């Protein structure tokens, strides 16, 4: 689908939401692997020219990157890429692992039959993506899978906290999937999680989810070590 906006000067563009997501995804990859190093000033006009986009989707993508802590939007001074540290990332994953473990435990005890079916269906629908090693599509499917578990907790406050943490870690949850065989391992871990949840073993489900997130953290650290961003330490 394509739309025209006044800013596009009659040029047909991809749908705005899809374009901003594309810009966000590309910049996430380039920042997290160090291709765009810390301290780099991102120019909206140059980004617009690069992605053939109007100001609106570029600014939306930048707002999402700021929410994730990758950049800082400084009024009248531009958009600056922030430094990352492995210690900070590890600590964020550690906290997220505990919150996600709680979600798995609550969801196991509280999910309805329909919610159980949805979680299983989402897992099974990702199988072809795993076989194809389609990182981008699996990243989207992975988010839907975890979303379904959040909703099955039937605790709005917990869902809110889980989503806030996911926004903060979103770039890195995506990047860790680029570590060799991580997509396949992630799907296998989801399978173990579903088995525990369908057995009604909430304690085991929490353990598996915690390990799943810590494995993601380990995969991220190994990927970052392999790509060697100069400002990560």
**Under CATH, to which class is 2-81 assigned?**
mainly alpha
| 3-class SS string, the chain | CEECCHHHCCCCEECHHHHHHHHHHHHHHHHHCCCCCCCCEECHHHHHHHHCCCHHHHHHHHHHHHHCCCEEEECCCEEEECCCCHHHHHHHHHHHHHHHHHHHHHHHHHCCHHHHHHHHHHHHHCHHHHHHCCHHHHHHHHHHHHHHHHHHCCCHHHHHHHHHHHHHHHHHHHHHHHCCCHHHHHHHHHHHHHHHHHHCCHHHHHHHHHHHHHHHHHHHHHHHHHHCCCCCC
The angle that helices 86-110 and 202-227 make with each other, rounded to 10 degrees, is: 160
pLDDT digits (tens, 9 = 90+) for 181-194: 999 999 999 999 99
pLDDT digits (tens, 9 = 90+) for 110-153: 999 999 999 999 999 999 999 999 998 999 999 999 999 999 99
Q: Domain 86-227: give its CATH superfamily.
A: GntR ligand-binding domain-like (1.20.120.530)
Structure confidence at residue 228 (pLDDT): 60
Structure confidence at residue 227 (pLDDT): 67
Report the predicted TM-score, pTM, of the whole model to 2 decimal places. 0.75
Domain boundaries, the chain: 2-81, 86-227
């Amino acid at each position: 689908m394509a739309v025209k906006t006044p800013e596009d000067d009659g040029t047909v563009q991809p749908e705005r939401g899809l374009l901003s997501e594309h810009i966000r995804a590309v910049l996430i990859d380039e920042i997290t692997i160090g291709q765009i190093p810390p301290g780099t000033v991102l120019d909206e006009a140059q980004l617009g020219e690069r992605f053939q986009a109007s100001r609106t989707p570029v600014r939306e993508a930048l707002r999402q990157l700021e929410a994730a802590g990758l950049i800082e939007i400084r009024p009248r001074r531009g958009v600056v890429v922030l430094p990352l540290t492995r210690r900070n990332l590890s600590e964020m994953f550690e906290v997220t692992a505990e919150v996600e473990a709680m979600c798995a435990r609550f969801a196991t005890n509280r999910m309805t039959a329909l919610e159980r079916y949805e979680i299983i269906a989402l897992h099974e629908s990702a199988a072809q993506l795993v076989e194809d090693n389609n990182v981008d599509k699996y990243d989207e499917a992975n988010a839907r899978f975890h979303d379904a578990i959040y909703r099955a907790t039937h605790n709005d406050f917990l869902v809110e906290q889980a989503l806030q943490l996911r926004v903060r870690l979103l770039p890195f949850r995506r990047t860790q999937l680029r570590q060799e065989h991580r997509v396949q391992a992630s799907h296998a871990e989801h399978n173990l999680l579903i088995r525990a949840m369908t057995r009604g073993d909430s304690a085991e489900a929490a353990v598996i989810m915690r390990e799943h997130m810590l494995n993601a953290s380990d995969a991220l650290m190994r990927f970052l070590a392999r790509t060697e961003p100069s400002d990560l330490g």
